[in-house]
């Protein structure tokens, strides 16, 4: 805690404002959008947000289907991960064993 008694967030999200971010929420939901604002409780305001829909057969797995949400507020208690969308690429899982192993 700082000397003023206020909590300070561990993350410095100022460098991500007006840039694309990917947010993973508790319960498995995942959204991407442009970070417009945040506070010390990690409440996030995302513009042009898009949610990645989950597979009905496996709720832990996301599909390629999306749903446009527009301007949203992500409550800080539900935010698990915030990462920039620029400079990230999806790679194949190196830990999957071949069928013959």
CATH architecture of the domain 15-84 equals: Roll (2.30)
Q: Which residues contact 92 (CB under 8 A, 6 or more apart)?
A: none
What DSSP letter does each residue of 70-81 carry, written as one string? EEEEE-GGGEEE
Distances in Å between the Cα of 90 and the Cα atoms of 23, 30, 63, 85, 95 are 15, 15, 14, 11, 14
- What confidence tier does 100 reach under pLDDT thresholds 50, 70, 90? low
Rounded distance between C-alpha atoms, residue 12 and residue 3, angstroms: 19
Residue ranges per structural domain of the chain: 15-84
Q: Look at residue 61 and give its three-state secondary structure.
A: coil
Which pLDDT tens digit goes with each residue over 52-67? 998 888 877 778 899 9
């Amino acid at each position: 805690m700082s000397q003023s008694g206020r909590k300070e967030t561990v993350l410095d999200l100022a460098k991500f404002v007006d840039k694309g971010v990917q947010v993973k929420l508790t319960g498995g939901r995942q959204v991407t959008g442009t970070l417009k604002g945040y506070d010390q409780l990690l409440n996030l305001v995302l513009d042009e947000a898009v949610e990645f829909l989950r597979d009905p057969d496996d709720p832990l797995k996301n599909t390629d289907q999306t749903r446009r949400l527009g301007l949203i507020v992500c409550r800080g208690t539900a935010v698990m991960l915030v990462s920039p969308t620029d400079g990230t690429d999806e790679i194949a899982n190196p830990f999957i064993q071949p069928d013959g192993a």
